[in-house]
Amino acid sequence: MADSEPWLTIIGIGEDGWDGLIAPARAAIQAADSVMGAPRHLSLLPRQGRAERIVWPVPFADGVPMLLERRGERVVMLASGDPFWFGAGSVVTRHLEPGEWVAYPAPSTLSLAAARLGWPVETIRSVGLHARPVETLRPHLAPGRRVLALMRDGASVTGLAAWLVEQGFGDSTLTVLEALGGPRERVRRAVASALDWTDIVHPVAVAIEPAGEGCVLPRASGLEDNWFDHDGQITKRPVRALALSALAPRPGELLWDIGTGSGSVAIEWLLSDPTTRAVGFERDPARLARAAANAARLGVERLELVEGDAVTSLADRPHPDAVFVGGGLSPQLVDALRTLPHCRLVAHGVTLETEALLAQCHSRFGGELLRIELARARPLGTKRGWKASYPIVQWRVAW
């Protein structure tokens, strides 16, 4: 094999097996020294050729070193459908240099499902539940949405139906799509509350049309406080909306939420875009566990949580694009955050001591200082009156 040739060929294979492969993919398999894939993928190939057949192990990550050991040989890796749509392609190629590999995708489950359903692909929200918790769907449950979920097996499909009932979306229509593109293909529909099939086969996906009386997760900043389990340590809805507006999340950005409490600010940051990231720092282990549960329930399990003192916990971590300090700002923390390059900071203070510190920081480092005073209408005898909350001072700065 010439040094300039890719040594790895990644081939997407559908349920139609060898017959569905394009000519370059067939040629790569016939010329390969070894072919790696799951047993189901290997069984779709005819018993011919000289290539050694190697079963990809479980868990998937264990197979990557096995693959890399064959660098320099002619190796074919088999994957389902399009290897770069919720597939194994990106997991493998992150370990390779450009020019080491070439890929030949097959039609993805998304495109096959859209063709069966008559749904425009651009209107479908796709979710990989074969490797993620079912709660990942939570932000997408709204009447009128079209969601396609890749599932692990038949049991996960019935589990999805039961979870939708629990969330108040038992009226959702589920289209179960099994073994698309091959001789075993089957497409069936049922309402979530009535789906009890025990003969669902792998590979399987479910098209979801949400319906029911369940609560729809709003997309604007400032969710109602009852979306979060908390012990009172929460940035309340109006103040949280102002904090998130000041933080101004952008796609791909990383937030540090220092003193995360219930995790509400970090969670809403993550809900703003699927590419955002967040780390929550919290000393109290009970609050840390509560924040983790809130994140999982609202479908943003990617929230990273760190227990410990903020100043000592910040070391050796990827630099954030934005930092939120909901309380407990100290001169030491300010000094630590000042070392971060190209960062936006939003800090809140309620006590006189923290308010004084924020005023000093504003004088020294600039930015914007905002005093937030809120009052709610409450019963006052037989009438109503305003009950004021503690004023909050917000310092917003970028450096």
Beta strands in the chain (DSSP E): 8-13, 34-37, 52-55, 75-80, 101-104, 124-128, 146-151, 173-178, 186-191, 204-209, 254-258, 277-282, 304-307, 322-325, 344-349, 368-372, 375-380, 383-388, 392-398
Beta strands in 173-271 (DSSP E): 173-178, 186-191, 204-209, 254-258
Domain with CATH 3.30.950.10 in the chain: 110-209
Task: Provide the CA 315 distance to its chain's centre, in angstroms.
Answer: 25
pLDDT for 44: 93
Architecture of domain 8-107: 3-Layer(aba) Sandwich (3.40)
pLDDT for 310: 77
- Tokens representing 224? 């109602």
CATH fold label, 225-398: Rossmann fold (3.40.50)
Domain with CATH 3.40.1010.10 in the chain: 8-107
pLDDT for 383: 95
Nearest partner of 236 among 269, 262, 259, judged by Cα: 262
pLDDT for 3: 64
Which residues, including other chains, have CB under 8 Å from residue 56's CB and lie 6 or more apart?
36, 37, 38, 63, 66, 77
pLDDT for 2: 61
pLDDT for 351: 93
pLDDT for 254: 98
Q: What is d(CA 231, CA 266) in angstroms, rounded to the nearest whole number?
A: 17
- Tokens representing 219? 């997309």
Kindly give the parts of the chain with pLDDT less than 50. Answer: none
**Does CATH number 3.30.950.10 belong to domain 110-209?**
yes
Q: What is d(CA 392, CA 374) in angstroms, rounded to the nearest whole number?
A: 9
Q: Using an 8 Å Cβ cutoff, are 184 and 178 in contact?
A: yes
Nearest partner of 317 among 296, 334, 336, judged by Cα: 336
- Tokens representing 288? 């840390």
Residue at 282: amino acid letter: E
pLDDT for 20: 94
